[in-house]
Amino acid sequence: MCYAIAGPPSGTHTTPLLPAINLGHSGGTLNVDCRRTADNLQQQLPNAWHVLVKEPFVLAGDCSTEQLARYHQETIAPTSLALSIQYFDAHPTWPVAIILCSSDQAYRECNRSLGERERSDYAGIYSRSEHRVIVNVATGEGTLAHELTHALAHVDFPELPEWLDEGLASLHEECEFSADGIRLIGLQNWRAASLKAAIQRGTLQSIVDLAGSRFAKADAAVDYAHSRYFCLYLQQRNLLEPFYRKCRSNSKTDHGGITSLTQLMGTDDLRKIDAQFSAWLRTLKAD
């Protein structure tokens, strides 16, 4: 399971005007599987909810079919395209269900209907076993971008280290498209506050310890912030995309991504990498 921790609205996931793009494999088994997933969701979700197939995605929600199509065209398709250009070479060969809930109440109702346990602390969830995203879109479209990143990363790199999975997903909570509309550029967001507090306390852990962290715990807020801002740091040095690909290439031997990081940074001195990251953090303007 991968979670987006609920926080202030994760607002500016702005989208360019692009034509609807189908990233999946057309026809064949995937199409049949999408229809089956759609039928199952229609049976499980409340009667008034709608379902729409946009292969490889199966959208559902407590909104109209037209609104679902708009979410696909304006957010899901362009975000997926950018992610496939920047990071993900493999396209989904299974249906990716995306359920959009318009309120806290609808979000709780959805989780109940699908047999998920209460997750009121979270704004969204991606279930690896179900290939299913559930998002409370009242928290902002950034939550959708977070969980969509998890869903597509799962297709491309199933062994992606958890810290990089969460860092990449969290980076896209607050992002904008490049001028040509084909790249996502992460921006600063509300997670900086917990990171700066950890630095002031002198409790910020090393990148090696972060790579070994488990994120499914109550006090993971600093880990999320650390991962996100480390990705932002790499992005600003034009190293994030090569780092992701290097981690994927080295995945059989480099389980946490640290060897890939030292290769990319041109040093085996991890204390130096931590120091450079901390120095960069101090240059950031306060939000």
Q: Which of residues 125-154 bind Zn ion (CB under 5 A)?
A: none
| Binding window for Zn ion (CB under 5 A); candidates: 64-72, 85-93, 158-166, 252-260 | 158-166
CB of 100 to Zn ion, least distance (A): 17
Nearer to Zn ion, 166 or 274 (CB): 166
CB of 170 to Zn ion, least distance (A): 7
Instruction: Residue 36: count other Cβ atoms within 10 Å of its Cβ.
Output: 12
| Binding window for Zn ion (CB under 5 A); candidates: 45-53, 160-168, 253-261, 274-282 | 160-168
C-alpha–C-alpha distance, residues 240 and 86, integer Å:
9
Nearer to Zn ion, 30 or 160 (CB): 160
Residue tagged 């979270």 (tokens):
122
Q: By CB under 5 A, name the one of 81, 96, 169, 204 that touches Zn ion.
A: 169
Give yes or no for residue 2 binding Zn ion (CB under 5 A). yes
Nearer to Zn ion, 49 or 230 (CB): 230
Nearer to Zn ion, 2 or 58 (CB): 2
C-alpha–C-alpha distance, residues 78 and 102, integer Å:
21
Nearer to Zn ion, 100 or 273 (CB): 100
| Binding window for Zn ion (CB under 5 A); candidates: 45-53, 77-85, 159-167, 185-193 | 159-167
CB of 263 to Zn ion, least distance (A): 26
Give yes or no for residue 192 binding Zn ion (CB under 5 A). no
CB of 279 to Zn ion, least distance (A): 27
Task: Count residues near Zn ion (CB under 5 A).
Answer: 3
C-alpha–C-alpha distance, residues 253 and 237, integer Å:
25
Query: Which residues is 275 bridged to in the sheet?
Result: none
Query: Which residues in this chain contact Zn ion in the complex, by CB under 5 A?
Result: 2, 166, 169
